[in-house]
Amino acid sequence: MASSAIDSEIFGDLFGTPAMRHVFSDETLVQRYLDVEAALARVQARLGIIPQEAAVEITAKAKFENFDFEAYKKGVERVSYPILPLVEGIVAMCKDGLGEYSHWGATTQDIMDSALSLQIRDALEIIETDLNAVADLIADLAKQYRDTPVAGRSHLQQALPVTFGYKAAVWLSGIERHKQRLAEIRPRATMAQFSGAAGTLASLGADGLKVQDALADELGLGRPEITWHVMRDNVAEIVTYLGLLTGTLGKIGTDILMMMQTEVSEVFEAFKHGRGASSTMPQKRNPVSSELMIVAANAMQQQVAQMLGGMLQDHERASGPWTIEWLALPQAFIISAGALSQARQTLDGLEVDADRMRRNLDLTNGMIVSEAVMMGLAPHMGRQVAHDVVYDACREAMSAGTSLYEVLVKMPEITANLSNDEIKALCDPANYTGLAGEMVDRLLSKYGR
């Protein structure tokens, strides 16, 4: 029975996905161990190190369905590491003692690290698919709402107008960088490991590097420059990357969550009957996917910290720090997949209320564009003088409960330099979105969208 949220049949699909859990399931993990042992036997047979019939037998039997999983579990409990009981299981499965040729010249961590690289390779394919889907959804929002004005906010206060397309494009910029990072780190995160007990391949003599290269090719993994038993930056890097990715998703979730507040009501997660409903307040529509994206970002901070701590390895084979990866790395991938899944649900059908955005822009009675008025006056009276004049006008408008425009058109120092039409244009938030649209275009063009 599951005892954690990410493995729970109740909560699992809120914090992860079935596809990613499958990659890191016991069944898949054991099969990856068996895949590495079988691949090792095949390449060693081709190099004349072990008999060909042994490689054929080991490959034929190295299937999870042939494996005595119950005996294996008891073996792992006894040894506290998973490979010696695995090799015992292979020997038991193979006929005529041919299983004795499995694990030839290898050490436990060789098999585990190569299997881990296979898991990471599969997991990154899932991440990449979801990342591309999220990028496409955000790009569509950026295009559609390129010129839709919305209040830009600083310190949770209205600052200056932007456009919702610009806001989405800022989200997209982070997602696109994550796509680039993924391409860059994938080769470092998917290297084979085969180096023997102390990393020197002493057990195979002159054939060691030949076996290492052939095994990497057989598994479709990268060839390492040197043993990485205790140099775990490549593994820590991938979890750190996932921390960055979920951080970006958490930022998107934060924006959407805050824009869904009743008093703001500018965007809403896609409606689905009952989703985000309250047990006692029928009117509620909670931003549940956004909340889960934020939770994932927070949870990932701990996984990253654990992986960085696990880099402190001693000598040529560590006394145990690397085992933290057994806990942190699968959770990191599952949590990240869950966050991406929630992002897809949030963004696919995101409801955007452009009218409400405009009404919110007008809440300050034109003061959100006080900078525009100041810059319009600056050529006539100097920037600092213009700042002080508009500052006084804003105070008067707030005190009187009227619009900035109504105050400005009654001020002789203003009307002496600007016509009423010019003042009115300066006070319209839709006219002061700067180069938001051009920035959206530039970003979309850079990424071929």
Residues belonging to the active site: 155, 278
Strand ranges inside 292-391, DSSP E:
351-352
Long-range contacts of 184-188 (CB under 8 A, 24+ apart): 185/237, 185/238, 185/241, 186/121, 186/124, 187/222, 188/222, 188/234, 188/237
How far apart are the C-alpha atoms of 68 and 74, rounded to whole Å? 10
- Please provide the DSSP assignment of 131-168 as one string: HHHHHHHHHHHHHHTTT-EEEEEETTEEEEEEEHHHHH
Q: Collapsing DSSP states into helix, strand and coil, what is residue 269?
A: coil
- Give dist(CA 3, CA 333) in Å, integer: 18
Tokens of 206: 């002159």
Strands 149-154 and 351-352 come out as unpaired
Phi, psi of 63 (to 5 degrees): -125, 140
Check: CB of residue 317 under 8 Å from CB of residue 109. yes
| CB under 8 A, 24+ apart: contacts of 282-285 | 285/260
- Under a CB-based contact definition with an 8 Å cutoff, are residues 352 and 148 in contact? yes
Element (H, E) at 337: helix 324-347
Query: What is residue 51's three-state secondary structure?
Result: coil
Cβ atoms of 311 and 233 closer than 8 Å = yes
